[in-house]
Structure 1
Amino acid sequence: MPPNAPEDVSRTIETLYRSESGRILATLVRLLGDLDLAEESMHEAFAAALDSWPQAGIPEKPRPWLISTARFKAVDGIRRRARFDGVERDLALHLEAQSNEARINEALQEEEIEDDRLRLIFTCCHPALPSEGQVALTLREVCGLTTEEIARAFLVTPATLAQRIVRAKAVIRDKAIPYQVPLSPELSARLGAVLQVVYLVFNEGYSAETTGAELSREAIRLGRLLLDLLPEPEVMGLVGLMLLQESRRAARSSAEGDLILLDQQDRLLWNRDHIAEGIALTERALASRRFGAYTLQAAIAAVHAEASSTASTDWRQITLLYDRLIRIQPSPVVELNRAVAVAMYEGPEHGLRLIDDLLAREELARYHLAHSARADLCRRLEQLPEARASYEKALALARQEPERRFLAGRLRELQ
């Protein structure tokens, strides 16, 4: 391609890093056999692109260019160090033996790259790693989220999150954890952490203001990869859940980016293909009778998707599904969601009593959605001073700008 303005190249490279770094890193791990070396050489390749592409033009296929450049930079670095280190010399000889062009081209085939990502996911989710390290490392290395983004998802500081990643990498290196998808007897046992990773990626995308759709698509694609590999009920349930939630993306916000709640959404904007596929997967998972929390959440989303309006929604069925979900995955957030369903089924005073009990336990004291839900029920009961106080608490705790604008609007309405 012809030369480009440096600012245009910079924007292109930034987009490529966001969308392709996970694939590139996964393939480099396979080619180089070392996670830290792969990460270092990938960053060098992106830096080389910033230097080269404004004059040479953006390659027709940027991903193979970046992978090849990263690999050769890694080999060059190893050659330089090999003069002083016998281990590095052996590694350099090994990589050079694999450096013929046919082998490199084979390594860059699309199918092989997709397999690379699956291998890297299972490596990062190896049981030898602490559970928080499994999830953090996979989000960072496979999906390309920044340390700050992951820290926000975990509600910890970036420094704490960075330490988890460093420790997880050290375990992989010290225990020589293999870069492979586990054999069938181990596969199911390793699946839980992988599903958690995929759903965290999806949730990050679902709430993100800018790159959300991209991250959500990435999570759904990873879920489908897992479904091809292991068609277990909970994999079906997770993919079904993500599709059903993603189906509402176009209706969740206005053209100005303002939040639109479920009861005010234009259901004609919901993606019916996503809904049909999500419901079919959820029904298959339920029929197995071996399902878990993801499938139950998908079943709740399916009840919403099948209703023509909030008023016609089967809130009793949703409440019963939450009852079952609480038995297998007890959590204050699940209890909060159940309380909202109860308010729709039995009346706002019943839901408000449940939410007040939850807030009294203080587990959700800093969770803005709990205060927002309480405010909404107080508003419906015409307890306006209580509603105003709860909206103010929710606004003080909310971080996403669309949510803050929504809550500020509710406060103005009360005034």
Structure 2
Amino acid sequence: MNGQRATRSVEAVFREDRSRLLALLAARFGDLDLAEETTSEAIEAALRRWPVDGVPDKPLAWLLTTARRKAIDRIRRDRAYAERLAALQVESDRAAPTVPPEAGFGDIPDERLQLFFTCCHPALSAEARAALTLRFLAGLTTSEVARAFLVPTATMAQRIVRAKRKIRTARIPFRVPGPDELPARLPSVLRVVYLVFTEGYAASSGGDLMRPDLAEEAIRLARILHRLLPGEREVTGLLALLLLTDARRAARTDAAGGQVLLEDQDRALWDADLIAEGQRLVVPALTGPGVGPYAVQAAIAALHDEATDFETTDWPQITALYDVLFQIDPSPLIALNRAVAIAMRDGPQAGLPLLDALADTEELRGYHLLPAARADLLRRLGRTTEAAAAYRAALDLASNEPERATLIRRLATLAGR
């Protein structure tokens, strides 16, 4: 029984605070590889020791102390490695105080934002910034990050290795940027928080529709950013968007974990407090010149949340907002969502040519929601043979089991079963 309790305690710590432990070690030693390896070694040590010695009163502090000792032992054994780390650490030490070895975890500053801004440094490519942050801050596996970017796992693994090497060789410090650097650095951080939420709200694969732990982590990080940067309207917009979207979580699955689409959701299950908080944030996010994409998306989410049912949704206003959003960010994904909104406003025949025009878009080639949306419009037009083919195409691309089940049900309905 003690062994089972110890295992559960380690798993809980790893699930909830692995990113914090990793961030502290990275800030202390200035090396992501060392931080990741010693974090894993500390977890392994806990799985061996805690069943025998008992779970410590401060398990996180125990893990930090153990990981730090293992890192120091490794540095002492390798003089060349120690010299390299010493060079890397100069700027990090200037930016943040060293945590005393005897400190409890409640006394330790939260350094995850430092790791966020390090992973989103402008010296790194946009893809590398998001990939590193999803890997190390959100705790996604390399294969999960690869699926989020629609690339092979091996390609993503190489991208992460190159990005870590870039941080090391360029001596990128682990710190939060100053006011003069912040405008250039913030969009990358916001993008990563958004990607973390997206993976949590609609998991790229697996047996569950959602990964609530990731969605909650993204919201927590967005709240931290909003507290630190209350005057940044896109920070406000992002937080509003996440709250207004996450408010529907309880209605998105049935008792068996199956997917419930927006038109079929019980809106009484939506979280009224999150909706109210998100709505309060939308106004300041939209106020002033140069409205950003997250603020516009938040306004769209607010319109969905305000509707008493699917039929009374204000599709003309939503379409108008998608027009604005597409001017700000003319990406294929925004074009896809805009096409669906136009179809809801003007009928499926109006949206279908817009979806067909995206068929050869490289960014959407492996994205199952494009053929799925096309199938839905074809079904509504009564073109059942074409709709079935599109549903099968979506099914070939989908890797999330509840989403696959929804597509299978749609196919069965078309077949009259």
TM-score where L is the length of structure 1: 0.90
Determine the structure 2 residue equivalent to 1:46.
Answer: 43
Residue in 2 that maps onto 1:235: 235
Deviations 1:306-353 (A, max 9, x none): 110111111000000011111110122212211211122112221223
User: Does structure 2 retain, via aligned residues, the 8 Å contact 1:391–1:411?
Assistant: yes
Aligned mates of 1:124, 1:407 — CA distance in 2: 37
- 1:32 Cα shift? 2.6
1:285 aligns with 285
**Number of the residue aligned with 1:399:** 399
How far does residue 249 in structure 1 lie from its aligned partner after superposition?
0.6
Could you list the runs of 5+ residues in structure 1 that have no partner in the other structure? 95-100
In structure 1, the residue matched to 2:95 is none
The structure 1 residue matched to 2:76, chosen from 79, 88, 101, is 79
Kindly state the Cα deviation for residue 107 of structure 1 after the two structures are TM-superposed: 7.4
After superposing the two structures, state which structure 1 stretch, 343-352 or 258-267, moved more: 343-352
Greater RCO (Cα-Cα under 8 Å, separation 6 or more): 2
User: Aligned-pair RMSD on alpha carbons?
Assistant: 2.3
1:119 is matched with which residue?
114
Residue number in structure 1 paired with 2:379: 379
What code does the residue aligned with 1:54 have? P
Name 2:53's counterpart in structure 1: 56
- C-alpha contact (below 8 Å) 2:58/2:104 kept by paired residues: no
Distance 1:274 1:280 in 2: 10
Counterpart residue number, 2:2:
4
| Residue 176 of structure 2 is aligned to residue 177 of structure 1 | no
Is the contact made by 2:58 and 2:105 (CA closer than 8 Å) also made in structure 1?
Answer: no
1:4 maps to a residue whose letter is N
Cα offset for 1:90?
Answer: 7.3
Mapped to 1, the partners of 2:228 and 2:128 lie a distance apart of 24
Contact between 2:209 and 2:259, CA under 8 Å: does it hold in 1?
no
Give the distance between the partners of 1:39 and 1:227, measured in 2 at CA: 28
Cα distance in structure 2, aligned partners of 1:137 and 1:215: 15
Residues 378-387 or 401-410, more deviating? 378-387
Contact 2:30 2:173 in 1 (8 A): no
Share of identical aligned residues, percent?
A: 52
Alpha-carbon distance in 1 for matches of 2:43, 2:112 = 19
Structure 1 segment 63-212 matched on structure 2, within 5 A: 63-82=60-79, 87=83, 103-106=100-103, 108-109=105-106, 112-114=108-110, 116-208=111-203, 209=208, 212=211
- Report the counterpart of residue 97 of structure 1 in structure 2: none
Alpha carbons of 1:86 and 1:157: their partners in 2 closer, same or farther (altered >3 Å)?
closer
1:31 equivalent to 2:40? Answer no
Decide whether aligned partners of structure 1 residues 85 and 102 sit closer, same or farther in structure 2, where only a CA change above 3 A counts.
Answer: closer
Deviations along 1:150-201, whole A, 9 cap, x unmatched?
Answer: 1110111122111121111112211221111111011111001101111111
Change (3 A) 1:395 1:348: same
Q: How do 1:229-308 and structure 2 match up within 5 A?
A: 229-231=228-230, 232-308=232-308
The alpha-carbon distance between structure 1 residues 89 and 268, as it changes in their structure 2 partners (threshold 3 A), is closer
8 Å Cα contact 1:79-1:89 kept in structure 2: no
- 1:219 matched residue in structure 2: 218
Q: 1:393 to 1:52 in 2, by over 3 A?
A: same
- Conserved? CA contact 1:252–1:261, under 8 Å: yes
The 2-side partners of 1:363 and 1:357 are apart by 13
Deviation at 1:72, TM superposition (A): 1.4
Secondary structure of the residue that 1:288 maps to in structure 2? Answer: coil
Task: State the AA in 2 paired with 1:118.
Answer: L
| Distance (whole Å) between structure 2 residues aligned to residue 337 and residue 24 of structure 1 | 38
- Please give the residue correspondences for 1:334-345 in structure 2 after superposition, counting only pairs within 5 Å: 334-345=334-345
Give the C-alpha shift of residue 270 in structure 1. Answer: 0.4
